[in-house]
Structure 1
């Protein structure tokens, strides 16, 4: 059996311990940075989840495509929770989902 030196060089890497330690520390540092970024992204996602509880009139209309009068009646009757800031209206996603659920009909 002959050993081809080129095959061995492709498979084995010999580096000094100090270089390995330096490389290992560099990887650890990158891992810590990635871990920190993941934590920050999770926090942002959690914040966006809270923000996504409020829908603009346009978003609410995509969920329930009714006219302006219908929406006004639902606001006036208290059927949906909303906030008004200036001329903009924001609906509670949970209240719209509850409205849908409360009006669910069984099949005939």
Structure 2
């Protein structure tokens, strides 16, 4: 009976250690996920600032109407890039990146942009 009790105590101790390891791994995974998310956000903000700078340079000397049309086209391209990036991230998370379904979705997104830029 005493041996059985010792076995149970040992098993519970091992289970507790494993649970703590799992909690640490979960916390590390969350930290990695948050780091990736923040890095992605910073890159997006940097890209948006760069595009605004490029817009300012490209539209110097344009009339108001021409500048407005240029801004609309740029805005559409930016939305397209954001959607494409979201598609890529979602596909990577789900394990469908570079599959036929991913390429079809990417192609559909690309096709949806064509009428507005031609």
- By percentage of residues, which structure has more helix? 2
- By percentage of residues, which structure has more strand? 1
The TM-score with structure 2 as length reference comes to 0.40
The TM-score with structure 1 as length reference comes to 0.43
